[in-house]
Amino acid sequence: MWIAAAGEAFPRQETEDDMSAIDDGREDLARWKAEQPDNFFTADVVFRHALQRLAGEETWASLRPRLEAFGAQCATEMDAAADVNNRPHNLPLLERYDAIGRRTEGVEHHPSYHVVGRLIYESGMMGEYAEPGGFLRSLAFFHLSSMCGEAGHNCPVACTAGIIKSLQALGTPELKARYLPRLLSRVYAERYDGAQFLTEVQGGSDVGLNAVRAERAEDGTWRIHGEKWFCSNADADLILMTARHDEAVGGTRGLGLFLVPRLLEDGSVNAFRIRRLKDKLGTRSMPSGEMDFEGARAWALGEVEEGFRSMMRFVINTSRIYNAIAVTGIARRAAFVAGGYARHRKAFGRRIGDFALVRETVDRIEASSAAIALGTWALIPMMDAAEQGGLSDEEAAFLRMAINVNKRRSSITATECALQGIEVLGGNGAIESFSILPRLLRDAIVCENWEGTHNTLTAQVLRDMHRYRLHEAYVAQLRRRFASLEGGPMGAWASRGARAVDGLEGSLAEVLTLDEDAASLRMRPLMDRLAWVLYASAMAEQAAYDAEAGLGDEVSRLLAFYADWRGI
């Protein structure tokens, strides 16, 4: 808005002083831009040190040069291509027929989409899953590419990982031989990617309402009929989906897990139609459609009666960890953008970062993005250990609860970081062409709402507390983590952490005495606190390692700020 100063009917003539102020202001912006990372791996010190600690010497030594090269690609070519791809005129378009009218159910992508895809898949991140485990190695690459936002491929990569895990665990030798090599491939033109469809128009959280049917065919395969309402990566090579194998069995017990290839053996398109692509708030360069299945050929993965359980075990936990890394990338990127801006932008003759209010906002972005990064990364070696049978019962119970607690809080934090980053940039923060922040904000909001809404996750944690007393393992694990700091450089956190865990334990016990409504309301703030204490423990562990390894005290300083802010 332009408001003329009193007595001025028209803007003044620009003087030399005005011109030099304009030049100076623009130069500050140029310096901010020039100082943005040209390598996300070297720039994200918190992530780098965490990986060094968690990977172990051998894995770290082999990953490091690859990540360094990939981090540079992400910050340069990939980021530029994702930016171009997300311009409104370059978004995916539905192309249901080819030139001569044959049905293709295809999606036309701008070339920039494939630039991003080639870099992601050719990093070899999917191939890391060739052996059981592989989460740590694969997600290290994903952490870096996520700093470009969804970029058209984050959701597909997560879905592909879920399909690989399901096939490895449940697939017949024939299905494994047919699909795994291309799912694991690093050759972009050859690789298969995946999609996962659960949600129907009548409900996404309440998957037990699924009405899409699966009918067994004479040859032992299945035919899928019905409508799926949210179908991301709509042009995926392989779809993993829920469908009702027995209409007489209601709820989630009647759901099987099915693999539906896009193309049949003869090269024709399987029996489904994409009605339309959705016009979305975020994740816009990734096509999400609505689809009708009209007898699509499918294979059951595992026993059909076990479908929902398999989905939760191999797919949903994988997706929720992917979601947490995706939003961590968003939050860490917001920290780079906003932190740099505060160092260069001036107002009233001072750098804006010198104002206490701006400084506090930037500190919050930096500390909370580091908190979710370290909290999420603390869980990833456990994901690998779980697959290799290396978790105790207590650790497995802790992991199950922590994944849900962390999915919720990490995505809220990413939205906060992107939003606060926009605040630091002022009016420029609201401009799509000025920085990545508006797109990161939109992507983060989507990440809050898929893979389990906040309330669904809260309800699941509460149910798990009642049914399996998972909170006891959660509390016990946090207690162990803080206790292990005793006598080390972060020794003060042994008792401070123990007090925080005592507080959690009391609140959790109280929730279990409440009726359903009261318990769910009490759980909402408690879900935050469960996450914050987890993050503090992960930060303290990292700070102790950094001190012992001579890697500086950045995490220790971030923890001091974060813990005071969160009242831990």
Ligand X SMILES: Cc1cc2nc3c(=O)[nH]c(=O)nc-3n(C[C@H](O)[C@H](O)[C@H](O)COP(=O)(O)OP(=O)(O)OC[C@H]3O[C@@H](n4cnc5c(N)ncnc54)[C@H](O)[C@@H]3O)c2cc1C
Binding stretches for ligand X (CB under 6 A): 196-199, 203-206, 230-232, 280, 283, 288, 446, 449-450, 453, 455-456, 459
Instruction: Pick the closer one to ligand X by CB: 253 or 280.
Output: 280
* Of 495, 384, 387, 504, residue with least CA distance to 139: 384
Instruction: Pick the closer one to ligand X by CB: 138 or 196.
Output: 196
- Residue 10 DSSP one-character state: S
Instruction: Pick the closer one to ligand X by CB: 196 or 328.
Output: 196
255, β-bridge pairs: 244
Q: What gap in Å lies between CA 70 and CA 416, rounded to an integer?
A: 27
Phi then psi dihedrals of residue 364, to 5 deg: -65, -40
Nearest distance in Å: CB 206, ligand X: 6
Nearest distance in Å: CB 198, ligand X: 4
CA dist list (Å): 527 to 252, 298, 400, 402, 534: 25, 39, 14, 10, 11
Q: What gap in Å lies between CA 248 and CA 231, rounded to an integer?
A: 26
Instruction: Pick the closer one to ligand X by CB: 190 or 516.
Output: 516
Q: Which amino acid is at 194?
A: G
Instruction: Pick the closer one to ligand X by CB: 106 or 204.
Output: 204
CA dist list (Å): 222 to 210, 369, 401, 472: 17, 45, 34, 42
* Of 468, 459, 469, residue with least CA distance to 527: 459
Nearest distance in Å: CB 234, ligand X: 8
* Of 129, 120, 143, residue with least CA distance to 50: 143
Residues 6+ apart with CB under 8 A from 213: 224, 225, 226, 243, 244, 247
The tokens describing 32, both together, are 């901010």
CB 328 within 8 A of CB 376: yes
Residues 6+ apart with CB under 8 A from 436: 79, 83, 148, 149, 333, 337
Instruction: Pick the closer one to ligand X by CB: 123 or 458.
Output: 458
Q: What gap in Å lies between CA 407 and CA 409, rounded to an integer?
A: 6
64 half-sphere exposure, CB direction, 13 A CA radius: 16
Nearest distance in Å: CB 319, ligand X: 9
* Of 97, 114, 115, residue with least CA distance to 106: 97
Nearest distance in Å: CB 333, ligand X: 20
Instruction: Pick the closer one to ligand X by CB: 67 or 459.
Output: 459
Instruction: Pick the closer one to ligand X by CB: 183 or 523.
Output: 523
Element spanning 51, H or E: helix 45-55
Q: In which residue are the tokens 């123990």 written?
A: 498
Nearest distance in Å: CB 196, ligand X: 5
CB 93 within 8 A of CB 277: yes
Residues 6+ apart with CB under 8 A from 235: 105, 106, 107, 262, 274, 287
Chain residue whose CB lies nearest ligand X: 204
Nearest distance in Å: CB 450, ligand X: 4
Residues 6+ apart with CB under 8 A from 182: 190, 191, 192, 237
Nearest distance in Å: CB 31, ligand X: 36
Nearest distance in Å: CB 301, ligand X: 16
Report helix, strand or coil for 154. Answer: helix
Nearest distance in Å: CB 453, ligand X: 3
Q: β-strands 93-97, 103-108: how paired?
A: antiparallel
Instruction: Pick the closer one to ligand X by CB: 42 or 455.
Output: 455
Instruction: Pick the closer one to ligand X by CB: 36 or 456.
Output: 456
Nearest distance in Å: CB 71, ligand X: 27
* Of 563, 524, 558, residue with least CA distance to 543: 558
Instruction: Pick the closer one to ligand X by CB: 154 or 413.
Output: 154
Instruction: Pick the closer one to ligand X by CB: 88 or 487.
Output: 88
Nearest distance in Å: CB 349, ligand X: 44
Instruction: Pick the closer one to ligand X by CB: 241 or 342.
Output: 241
Nearest distance in Å: CB 452, ligand X: 7
